[in-house]
């Protein structure tokens, strides 16, 4: 008997029970809309969007101002630096062999201005790291 497995289906059942089908659908729609709005905010010369979001995940790269900067090293360092300084949590992944940043939106109470602030923090940290991250040769 698998008594140590979490009851993941219970979370979904309880959410549907409390919110109802329409309420649950409204939350999903809100997250999808928020993801779309954030994707528009990524239309910025400091970011390269790596795919069009199908649901709530955005994958992108920070683009350094200085074309001589180690873009891969900066993209690896951004999430670590932000987390270490308590500035925010942003995911990291690799796409086509290149380090990339990832945001997965799940909380329906998140506001766009909070996410815009997070992107501004990514830029600020990225600009700082451009000066300190050295290319690996």
Domain positions in the chain are 19-131
Q: What CATH class is the domain 19-131?
A: alpha beta
Query: Residues 22-47: pLDDT tens digits?
Result: 999 999 999 999 999 999 999 999 99
Whole-structure pTM value? 0.85
Strand ranges (DSSP E) for 5-126? Answer: 47-49, 57-62, 91-95, 98-104
- C-alpha 92/C-alpha 100 separation (Å) is 6
Q: Helix (H, G, I), strand (E, B), or coil: what is residue 66? A: coil
Question: Which residues of the chain fall short of a pLDDT of 50?
Answer: 1, 136-137
* pLDDT at residue 9, rounded to an integer: 83
């Amino acid at each position: 008997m698998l008594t140590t497995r979490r009851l993941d289906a219970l979370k979904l059942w309880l959410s549907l029970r409390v919110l109802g089908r329409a309420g649950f659908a409204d939350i999903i729609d809100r997250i999808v809309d928020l993801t779309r709005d954030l994707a528009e905010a990524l239309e910025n010369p400091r970011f390269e969007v790596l795919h069009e979001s199908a649901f709530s995940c955005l994958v992108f790269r920070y683009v350094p101002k200085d074309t001589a900067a180690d873009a891969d090293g900066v993209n690896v360092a951004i999430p670590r630096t932000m987390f270490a300084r308590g500035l925010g949590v942003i995911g990291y992944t690799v796409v086509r062999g290149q380090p990339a940043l990832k945001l997965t939106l799940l909380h329906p109470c998140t506001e766009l201005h909070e996410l815009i602030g997070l992107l501004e923090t990514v830029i600020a940290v990225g600009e700082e790291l451009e000066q300190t991250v050295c290319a690996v040769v």
